[in-house]
Amino acid sequence: MNSVKITPDIIRSMKTDRRGVPSLTVYDYPMTRLFDEAGIPLLLVGDSLGMVVLGYPDTTHVTMEEMEHHVRAAARAKPLGLLAADLPYRAYEDEAQAVANAKRLRIAGAEAVKAEGGRAIINQVRAIIAAGIPYIGHLGMLPQNVVVEGKYRIKGKIEEERAALLADAKALADAGAFAIVLELITPAVAVEISRSIPIPTLGIGSGPDCDGQILVTHDLVGAFPWFTPRFIKPRLATGAQTRETARQWALEVEQHTLKMP
């Protein structure tokens, strides 16, 4: 369990200290409290909630109002871990909009924000940081682009993508981001990026050698049994176990065999 409040500077220093940075998504009060008690230093209210909580087909349906709702729930846990939140799809199309929506997430309780992209949104990134809001980058496979790209795929396999990813990572670090998520980037390129910038990289499906790792919690604990990414091996099967527990309880009620404590 964390004994001091985690700040962006502490997350940044973990790279210098060669401490891996574990990060998990959170969507509500109990999840946030449990993971904070487990000592997870970086907690992200991810727009992945669109799929694993709200039942959308992808993250592009998530609204600012929905993000604010879940950030408020997570913030009520008052975690010592740093609580960050995703800016949802089309919430940062220009500088003014990016800052306004980042401030909305801060008011809801987020202590940092994350958005997808590198040089293409660098003006928005600079504006958010200039407004005093800590920022996490996100490169590689960008879930908010899945409708445009048509599928999720590993990035960095060709030289053009490799060069672009390195340039994007440098631009984000230079702009003042304190960490960068690297999603579905070929491991060799993820390592190259990690070695080329002074801030931590958080891999997801990008190999084991980034500065840290971030996961959608439902994937880690098997809470969304209808789909699991190929790069994840769930540590638990909570979805299947919950379903079976409910089935057994219902059977006892139906057969009048339920024993009360």
For the segment 158-195, what is each residue's pLDDT rounded down to a tens digit?
A: 999 999 999 999 999 999 999 999 999 999 999 999 99
User: H or E segment at 69?
Assistant: helix 64-75
In a domain, 222, yes or no: no
Number of domains in the chain: 1
In a domain, 260, yes or no: no
pLDDT tens digits, residue range 51-73? 999 999 999 999 999 999 999 99
In a domain, 161, yes or no: yes
Q: Quickly state the pLDDT bin for 3 (edges 50, 70, 90).
A: confident
Q: Give me the domain span that covers residue 36.
A: 8-215
3-state class (DSSP) for residue 13: helix
pTM: 0.96
Residue of 183, 244, 252, 254 with catalytic role: 183
In a domain, 235, yes or no: no
pLDDT tens digits, residue range 16-53? 999 999 999 999 999 999 999 999 999 999 999 999 99
In a domain, 234, yes or no: no
Confidence (pLDDT) at 199: 98
In a domain, 231, yes or no: no
Identify the CA nearest to 136 among candidates 27, 33, 36, 23.
Answer: 23
The Cβ of residue 2 has, within 10 Å, a number of other Cβ atoms equal to 16
Q: What is the mean pLDDT of residues 112-138?
A: 98
pLDDT tens digits, residue range 197-232? 999 999 999 999 999 999 999 999 999 999 999 899
The Cβ of residue 253 has, within 10 Å, a number of other Cβ atoms equal to 10
> Partners of 185 in the beta sheet?
155
In a domain, 195, yes or no: yes
pLDDT at 151 over 80: no
Residue written as token pair 């050698």: 209
Active site residue 183: yes
CATH (domain of 48):
3.20.20.60
Confidence (pLDDT) at 261: 86
In a domain, 246, yes or no: no
Q: Quickly state the pLDDT bin for 239 (edges 50, 70, 90).
A: very high
Confidence (pLDDT) at 35: 98
CB under 8 A, 24+ apart: contacts of 202-210? 202/21, 202/23, 202/42, 204/231, 205/141, 205/154, 205/229, 205/231, 205/232, 206/140, 206/182, 210/182
Name the CA radius of gyration of the chain, rounded.
Answer: 19
